[in-house]
Amino acid sequence: MQALFVIMRAVSLLNERIGRLVSLLIIPIFAFLIFEIFVRYVSGSPLVWTGEATQLLFGIYAVLSGGYILLHREHVNVDLLFSRLSIRNRAIIDIFTSVLTFLFLGALVYFGSSLAYESIEFWERSQSAWNPPIWPAKLAIPVGAVLLLMQGIVKLIQDILTALDIEMPADLTLHDTAGGEK
Amino acid sequence: MSIGLLTVLFFLSLIVFLIAGLPLVFVLGGISIVFLYFTWGIESFYMVASQVWGSMNSFTLIAIPLFVYMAMILEKSGVAQALYRMMHLWWGGVRGGLAIGTVAICTLFAAMVGISGAAVVTMGTIALPAMFEQKYDKRMAIGCISAGGGLGILIPPSVLMILYSLITGASVGKMFAAGVIPGLMLALMICAYIFIRCWLQPEMGPALPIDQRGTWADKIEALRAVLLPMLIVTMVLGSIMLGIATPTEAAASGVLGALISAAVHRKLTWELVRESALRTFVLTGMIMWILFAAHSFSAAYQGMGATSLIQGLAAHIPGGPWGAIIVMQLVLLLLGMVLDPVGIMMITLPVFLPIITAYGFDPIWFGILFIINMEIGYQTPPFGFNLFYLKAIVPPNITMGDIYHSVTPYTLVLLLGLILVMLFPGLATWLPSIVL
């Protein structure tokens, strides 16, 4: 059981670190766009790379967010009836509904991987004037899906242990975090 | 299985899993997987991944984190304090003046940022204690902040309008232009309600004592507070309306404006930049993941052939096209009570939009009705973001019940506005027709 807790903590820590790091990508996205406006104003002609660079950064930024958001329980849900249930009853319902979560993420991991694989096979580039590699952004799809899937599994284990009334260390115990109240 | 039965199952499972509290992204994603399997088999799941890639590649969507980031920085930039001081001096002498001033600041905020929460949180922390100190009625005071904050999504820029344009193919610039007149009209209607109510019942919002109203020198000096916000509004909206910049570039210049404002008010720290970035990440990521799943959801919905079925059903709604519009508004009002606007948009637009276009209505006009409806949804219990934001910042003696009651008159004002835009579509469609 202790080994399981160590793994659960490691997954959560990984998503926390990645989330904090990736959240800073908004700064280069912002800076590139401002730089582009500035250069266009001064020289009268647009830059070839800023549009695509911000695009690729944004894609990575968006798709890697899932795990961090699940870790902090910030994916929106309807908590109309849900918030009135005890934490244990909520955990039991979550175990059943998680089937849909794993169907979606399973498909995304599998077919996202094949999408990324096809791209990496020939180190795909965008074929534009600037022609940057776009395979890293495609690779981010299965990576983001796996991060979210792993956090989903951590959540499932937390739910199962809560449903069985098994004690967990304080940092892994489920709290009253019904959505919306933030 | 017949298409009718399949469609019923589709929406039934949607409702059941939503009520069971599963996050929307997994409900939409999981259900589309199940129904794609029945329609086209396992190979069609490849589409789920390629739809994600498609959403990652939309240049317009980059405007969303930038507008959110701008709002997060402005929220802590000290701009609102300066504005509030000005409103206090200029409007304090009028009955209900502080509440009217609060709505005016919310309107200005709405023209800078594209979300509803920023103005609610800032005005809730600045204006609410001041109004309580002046013995304003608590419901009057709380409600005006929620109603004013909601203008954020109707007065451009607006993150919801960007999403609406993305899904419907309407031009972002036209949507922005269409929101201006209805937004200002609603702001005026809210102010008029406060003014009349406090005129009739002075105890709801007493005028400031003479000695607190400030001298003319103070008043003129305080006007400086609008300079920075006006600069930002010009940078963001001006550049879009004049066609100089794309909405994404305009959003980036808005971030620059927000950073400058924070620097001028000596609030610009690395802490602010980082914390705002993290909150932006969560909000953007949440929207983007819903979008990833929603693309598959609408593909599954259309793939089943449900579009024509629902269109056929819509033809049976009494009252013809207008009956359909009214039923849609009622559905949106009900959904607004339990679900957030991005989710409502993803679920209803694939169903509503074909009906709207089939009846020959203007999608821009429908978009504005949709946004006003979502504004109401932001403040109708039990699930309304503005209510939760307010609960987090009000003093402990204010209960959730007080907050629920406070929005009632303001919700009626917003409903009246919705009906006006329905009856007079020109309110929404006139400006985009001459500007763009």
Please determine, for residue B313, whether its predicted confidence score (pLDDT) is greater than 90.
no
Nearest to B10 by CA among B36, B30, B45, B35: B35
User: B61: which chain A residues are within 8 Å (Cβ-Cβ)?
Assistant: 58, 62
Please determine, for residue B141, whether its predicted confidence score (pLDDT) is greater than 60.
yes
Secondary structure of residue A133 in the 3-state scheme:
strand
What is d(CA B91, CA B34) in angstroms, rounded to the nearest whole number?
58
Over residues B174-191, the mean pLDDT reads: 96
One DSSP character per residue, A58-117 reads HHHHHHTTHHHHHHTT-S----TTGGGS-HHHHHHHHHHHHHHHHHHHHHHHHHHHHHHH
User: A141: which chain B residues are within 8 Å (Cβ-Cβ)?
Assistant: 49, 52-53, 56
For residue A178, what pLDDT band results from cuts at 50, 70 and 90? very low
Please determine, for residue A179, whether its predicted confidence score (pLDDT) is greater than 70.
no
Chain A interface test: which of B14, B19, B24, B53 (most A C-beta within 10 Å)? B53
Average pLDDT, chain B: 91
- Among A51-55, A158-162, A172-176, B119-123, the range scoring the smallest mean pLDDT is A172-176
Task: Please name the amino acid found at residue B145.
Answer: I
What pLDDT sits at residue B436?
A: 62
User: A78: which chain B residues are within 8 Å (Cβ-Cβ)?
Assistant: 18-19, 21, 24, 338-339, 383
Judge: B62–A58 Cβ closer than 8 Å, yes or no.
Answer: yes
Nearest to B193 by CA among B407, B401, B336, B428: B407
Distances from the Cα of A40 to the Cα of A144, B251, B254, angstroms: 34, 16, 17
Judge: B285–A99 Cβ closer than 8 Å, yes or no.
Answer: no
- Which 3-state string (H, E, C) describes B305-363? CHHHHHHHHHCCCCCHHHHHHHHHHHHHHHHHHHCCHHHHHHHHHHHHHHHHHHCCCCH
What pLDDT sits at residue B33?
A: 93
> Please, which residues 14-73 of chain B have a Cβ atom closer than 8 Å to chain A?
17-27, 29-34, 45-46, 48-50, 52-53, 55-57, 59, 61-62, 65-66, 69
Cross-strand partners of A125: A133
Chain A to chain B Cβ contacts (< 8 Å): 207
Please determine, for residue A109, whether its predicted confidence score (pLDDT) is greater than 90.
yes
- Among B260-269, B375-384, B404-413, the range scoring the smallest mean pLDDT is B375-384
- Among A66-70, A103-107, B164-168, B193-197, the range scoring the smallest mean pLDDT is B164-168
Please determine, for residue A181, whether its predicted confidence score (pLDDT) is greater than 60.
no
User: A26: which chain B residues are within 8 Å (Cβ-Cβ)?
Assistant: 65-66, 69, 277, 280-281
Asked if the C-beta of A141 comes within 8 angstroms of chain B's C-beta atoms, the answer is: yes
Average pLDDT, chain A: 90
Over residues A151-159, the mean pLDDT reads: 96
Indicate the burial class of B349 (C-beta count within 10 angstroms; 0-12, 13-18, 19 or more). Answer: buried
> Please, which residues 107-146 of chain B have a Cβ atom closer than 8 Å to chain A?
none
- Cα of B309 to nearest chain A Cα, Å: 26
CB B350, CB B366: distance < 8 Å: no
Over residues A101-110, the mean pLDDT reads: 96
One DSSP character per residue, B283-312 reads HHHHHHHHHHHHHHHHHHHHHTTHHHHHHH
For residue A182, what pLDDT band results from cuts at 50, 70 and 90? very low
Positive or negative torsion for Cα B164, B169, B170, B172: positive
Judge: B288–A63 Cβ closer than 8 Å, yes or no.
Answer: yes
- Cα of A141 to nearest chain B Cα, Å: 8
- Write out pLDDT tens, residues B231-283: 999 989 888 877 788 889 999 999 999 999 999 999 999 999 999 999 999 99
Residues making up chain B, counted from first to last: 436
Asked if the C-beta of A138 comes within 8 angstroms of chain B's C-beta atoms, the answer is: yes
Q: Work out the percent of chain B whose per-residue pLDDT is above 90.
A: 57
Is the interface score ipTM higher than 0.90?
yes
- Write out pLDDT tens, residues B335-375: 898 888 988 998 899 889 989 999 999 999 999 999 999 99
> Please, which residues 43-62 of chain A have a Cβ atom closer than 8 Å to chain B?
51, 54-55, 58-59, 61-62
Q: How many CA atoms lie within 13 A of A5 on its CB side?
A: 11
Please determine, for residue B326, whether its predicted confidence score (pLDDT) is greater than 60.
yes
What is d(CA A50, CA A36) in angstroms, rounded to the nearest whole number?
6
What pLDDT sits at residue B243?
A: 77
Closest chain B residue to the Cα of A58, Cα to Cα: B62
Judge: A108–B385 Cβ closer than 8 Å, yes or no.
Answer: no
One DSSP character per residue, A162-179 reads HHTT----GGGS-----T
Judge: A82–B338 Cβ closer than 8 Å, yes or no.
Answer: no
Query: What's the CA angle centered on B434, arms B431 and B436, to 5 degrees?
Result: 95
Task: Please name the amino acid found at residue B171.
Answer: S
For residue B154, what pLDDT band results from cuts at 50, 70 and 90? very high
Over residues B199-219, the mean pLDDT reads: 88
Judge: A78–B338 Cβ closer than 8 Å, yes or no.
Answer: yes
For residue B308, what pLDDT band results from cuts at 50, 70 and 90? confident
Secondary structure of residue A125 in the 3-state scheme:
strand
Over residues B141-159, the mean pLDDT reads: 94
Judge: B49–A115 Cβ closer than 8 Å, yes or no.
Answer: yes
Please determine, for residue A176, whether its predicted confidence score (pLDDT) is greater than 80.
no
For residue A130, what pLDDT band results from cuts at 50, 70 and 90? confident
